[in-house]
Amino acid sequence: MRITELLKKEGIALNVSLDSKDAAIDYMVELHKKSGNITDKAAFKEGILKRESEGSTAIGEGIAIPHSKNAAVKRPGLAAMVVPNGVDYDALDGAPSNLFFMIAAPEKGGDVHLEVLSRLSMLLMDEGFRAELLAAKNKDEFLKICDKYEDEKFGAEEKSAEPEKKGYRVLAVTACPTGIAHTFMAAEALEKKGEELGYPLKAETNGSGGVKNRLTAEEIANCDGIIIAADKNVETARFDGKPVLFTKVADGIHKPEELIQKIVDGKVPVYHEEGGKKEETASGGSVGSQVYKHLMSGVSHMLPFVIGGGIMIALAFLIDTICGYGSTGGGNFGTCTPLSAFFKFVGDKAMGLMVPVLAGYIAYSIADRPGLAVGFTGGLLASSGNAAVLSYVWANEELGGFQSFVSKFAFVGEGGGNTVSGFLGGIVAGFLAGFIVLFLKKLCSKFPKSLEGIKPTLIYPLVGILLIGILMVFIFNPIIGLINTGLSNMLSSLADKNLLTLLGLILGAMMAIDMGGPINKAAYVFGTGMLATAADLVANGASQSDTAVQACYIAMAAIMVGGMVPPIGIAVACKLFPKKFTEAERGSAVSNIVMGCSFITEGAIPFAAADPLHVIPCTLVGAGVAGGLSAAFKCTLMAPHGGLFVFATVGNPLLYIVSWLVGSAITAIMLGLIKKNVA
């Protein structure tokens, strides 16, 4: 290992003036810290002092080579220092030392320190080498001198050494359910940490706009391993035969060094595509995390339909309101003008695909492509209910006994009942479809190879759709339909008793606990489910002003205002209490304002990660108050996303803004009161 591979410019200091051995050690330890070679200065210095206690590493002739094999070292490295006037380092010849090389070796890194120590000792025996180093005018010249003498003495050996691997040592793929914030934050954190550690890293992002910075086949072939920091399924077949580390996208943001080091240290098992899902689960993914991952895969594909369709519908209502139909439109509100009718029609169609897409991609996440058809069908049955089949059954008296069968097993009588299982039914249908297809795959695994081609085109879709149809029509649609009815009644009851304030407070607080994590997503998914429930109620004859429908919109409004508070509150605190935040944190205030206004709660993540015990309680209280106030003011929202850009569609917009500002102010003031000043 060449000296210049271990010695960086950040680790070189020339023309230093010191007055003691301890000061010299401190100076060189700091050089190692600046070079990114060590994690803990105190622990590393303790190792250096322990070695010095066994005998001075100043070998005479003005040379000292302190060294330590230490747990605080994250990569092998050198620090070099020239002290023209010398310093007493307890040298064997009693003379002051003026040329220092400090070696840092990882505790589990073999005997790299002995190899480097041996090489340095041999080179430093050359008086010319020492003289040129002491006379070096700058760091570049210092490194060139090292290279020149090392080439002269070890050149032939170096040329026969194994050539350096080209490309990136570590690759990464990042993906979060929404593909908006976490995806790119994880990619940036991994790439930045890779640069700091000296391990080139390229991160592919699977964001809302598709795959960016895609990994090439050559890069995959040449890398040491791949980190997949994702909360949804990504393409993995291309990584077959390479070490692959599966983890959460949050770990990519908060634990980049740990993940990179696992790849570099060779502690990650080789991935094989056929057994990939099993290996992933066995390597630490719990059943709960797998369920969450499948659900988030469905949610991430569903969101564009919800957001696009929801905002189109909200614009239809806005157009009718502007045209004066807000109080006179009645059941036709949203379609009173040709333009609003167009927006409503298109928005309804997009929203109508929400549940089938959710179910389809949950099934896809579980069973791959064969799960899509079965999942989409189950989702369609969940969103449309049993109305069509029931009307056919009751219109044909000759079916006789089948009518009794339906009454008994579908829990409905003549005239029907609420068999639209909707959003909840779509989740159930997705998981059912996925596991049905997995069961069929296992059942057909021993079929002759000649039948391989008909499995995905005939057996899986035909049998799968038949089974999901039976399960949804006769079991889950009626049962979940009753649950949805109960949920609507509960919301109506909360509204009648004015307890929606409590619901709004809880939902707002949930948005600020983990800033885009499972709790935040649970609240948001609940809100989109409420919009679906409202759409079902309106489709079944309810008006927009009905209590249950308004309760659904109130819940969504509380969720969005709660999610907008943390970034804004933190940005305000950065301005009001600058001593509480680092220079880098203060510099991100503007971007936090933009993210807060856009309903991207994730802008608060770096602050919460840096100081969770102080930041999270402040954001939680502020967001909870905002959600509670929004609900108390009966603010409504029919769009599932958009932040400030959909405020024109909010019911009681001025009070909604008041709720948002009050919650943000509470967060900012609490941060100012309880957060400690930074150094």
CA 308/CA 300 separation, integer angstroms: 13
Q: What's the distance, CA 356 to chain centroid?
A: 25
Q: Check whether 380 has a pLDDT greater than 60.
A: yes
Considering only residues 422 and 267, tell me which one the structure prediction assigns the higher pLDDT.
267
Q: Report if residue 291 sits inside a domain.
A: no
CA 285/CA 269 separation, integer angstroms: 14
Sequence-separated (6 or more) residues with CB below 8 Å from residue 462: none
Q: Quick: pLDDT tens for 446-486.
A: 888 778 778 888 999 999 999 999 999 888 888 887 776 67
In one-letter notation, the amino acid at residue 248 is: K
Residues 319 and 195 both lie in one domain: no
Helix (H, G, I), strand (E, B) or coil at 527: helix
> Can you tell me the mean pLDDT for 606-622?
86
CA 413/CA 168 separation, integer angstroms: 65
Q: Check whether 331 has a pLDDT greater than 60.
A: no
Q: Check whether 590 has a pLDDT greater than 80.
A: yes
Sequence-separated (6 or more) residues with CB below 8 Å from residue 552: 491, 530, 531, 533, 534, 537
| pLDDT reported for residue 190 | 93
Residue 82 sits at φ, ψ, to 5 deg, of -115, 120
At residue 347 the predicted structure's pLDDT band, cuts being 50, 70 and 90, is confident
Residue 403 sits at φ, ψ, to 5 deg, of -65, -40
Q: Are 405 and 521 in contact (CB under 8 A)?
A: no
Residues 19 and 38 both lie in one domain: yes
Helix (H, G, I), strand (E, B) or coil at 39: coil
| pLDDT reported for residue 302 | 81
Q: What is the CATH number of the domain that holds 96?
A: 3.40.930.10
Tokens of 660: 């948002």
Q: Domain residues for 567?
A: 500-674
Neighbouring-strand partners of residue 531: none
Q: Check whether 428 has a pLDDT greater than 60.
A: yes
Q: Report if residue 313 sits inside a domain.
A: yes
Q: Report if residue 61 sits inside a domain.
A: yes
CA-nearest of 366, 494, 535 to 435 is 366
Q: Report if residue 493 sits inside a domain.
A: no
| pLDDT reported for residue 110 | 56
> Can you tell me the mean pLDDT for 281-309?
71
Tokens of 332: 């036709």
Neighbouring-strand partners of residue 651: 636
Q: Are 256 and 200 in contact (CB under 8 A)?
A: no
Neighbouring-strand partners of residue 636: 651
Q: Report if residue 281 sits inside a domain.
A: yes
Which of 111, 138, 159 terminates a domain? The answer is 159
| pLDDT reported for residue 283 | 38
At residue 161 the predicted structure's pLDDT band, cuts being 50, 70 and 90, is very low
Q: What is the CATH number of the domain that holds 244?
A: 3.40.50.2300
Residues 650 and 579 both lie in one domain: yes
Q: Report if residue 536 sits inside a domain.
A: yes
**Interior CA angle at 316 toward 312 and 319, to 5°?**
130
Q: Report if residue 294 sits inside a domain.
A: no
DSSP state of 73: B
Tell me the C-alpha to C-alpha distance, in Å, between residue 591 and each of 9, 321, 569, 618, 674.
Answer: 33, 33, 13, 20, 24
Residues 510 and 474 both lie in one domain: no
Q: Which residues are tagged catalytic?
A: 67, 176
CA 252/CA 269 separation, integer angstroms: 18
Residues 351 and 436 both lie in one domain: yes
Q: What's the distance, CA 433 to chain centroid?
A: 27
Q: Quick: pLDDT tens for 633-647.
A: 999 988 777 778 778
Sheet holding 210-212, edge to edge: 210-212, 201-207, 170-175, 225-230, 244-247
Residues 404 and 523 both lie in one domain: no
Q: Check whether 429 has a pLDDT greater than 70.
A: yes
CA 23/CA 89 separation, integer angstroms: 10
| pLDDT reported for residue 636 | 92
Q: Quick: pLDDT tens for 475-525.
A: 888 888 777 667 666 766 776 677 889 989 998 998 888 776 567 777 787
Tokens of 561: 């205002």
User: Residue 453 burial (CB < 10 Å; 0-12/13-18/19+)?
Assistant: exposed
Place of tokens 């949203």: 334
Q: Quick: pLDDT tens for 165-202.
A: 457 889 999 987 666 667 888 888 899 898 888 888 99
DSSP sequence for 390-426: HHHHHH-GGGTHHHHHHHHHSS-BTTB-----HHHHH
Residues 443 and 575 both lie in one domain: no
Q: Quick: pLDDT tens for 83-123.
A: 999 999 888 788 899 999 998 888 775 566 567 777 787 78
Residue 120 sits at φ, ψ, to 5 deg, of -65, -45
CA 373/CA 463 separation, integer angstroms: 11
Q: Where are the alpha helices (H) located in 265-368, listed in sequence order?
A: 276-282, 287-322, 338-352, 354-367
Q: Quick: pLDDT tens for 21-33.
A: 999 999 999 998 8
Considering only residues 47 and 400, tell me which one the structure prediction assigns the higher pLDDT.
47
Q: Quick: pLDDT tens for 6-23.
A: 888 888 999 998 889 999
DSSP sequence for 41-83: HHHHHHHHHHHHHTS--EEETTEE--EEEETTBSS-EEEEEEE
Neighbouring-strand partners of residue 206: 211
Q: Check whether 437 has a pLDDT greater than 90.
A: yes
Which of 159, 183, 217 terminates a domain? The answer is 159
Tell me the C-alpha to C-alpha distance, in Å, between residue 385 and each of 267, 342, 370, 536.
Answer: 50, 25, 24, 10
User: Residue 511 burial (CB < 10 Å; 0-12/13-18/19+)?
Assistant: buried
| pLDDT reported for residue 568 | 94
CA 551/CA 570 separation, integer angstroms: 30
Q: Quick: pLDDT tens for 227-278.
A: 999 887 788 888 988 899 999 888 888 889 999 999 988 888 888 765 444 3
Q: Report if residue 293 sits inside a domain.
A: no
Query: Across the chain, what does the average pLDDT equal?
Result: 82
Share of residues in the chain with pLDDT > 70 (%): 85
Residues 531 and 604 both lie in one domain: yes
Indicate the pairing of strand 58-60 with strand 77-87: unpaired
| pLDDT reported for residue 405 | 53
| pLDDT reported for residue 387 | 64
Helix (H, G, I), strand (E, B) or coil at 283: coil
Q: Check whether 127 has a pLDDT greater than 70.
A: yes
> Can you tell me the mean pLDDT for 291-309?
79
Share of residues in the chain with pLDDT > 90 (%): 28
Which of 487, 522, 552 terminates a domain? The answer is 487
Residues 154 and 174 both lie in one domain: no
At residue 162 the predicted structure's pLDDT band, cuts being 50, 70 and 90, is very low
> Can you tell me the mean pLDDT for 193-220?
86
3-state helix, strand, coil in the chain (%, to 5): 65, 10, 25
Q: Are 48 and 102 in contact (CB under 8 A)?
A: yes
| pLDDT reported for residue 678 | 77
Residues 87 and 190 both lie in one domain: no
Helix (H, G, I), strand (E, B) or coil at 80: strand
At residue 406 the predicted structure's pLDDT band, cuts being 50, 70 and 90, is low
Residues 52 and 28 both lie in one domain: yes
- The total number of structural domains in the chain stands at 4
At residue 163 the predicted structure's pLDDT band, cuts being 50, 70 and 90, is very low
CA 363/CA 465 separation, integer angstroms: 12
| pLDDT reported for residue 605 | 73
CA-nearest of 282, 461, 226 to 367 is 461
CA 291/CA 553 separation, integer angstroms: 28
Residues 513 and 603 both lie in one domain: yes
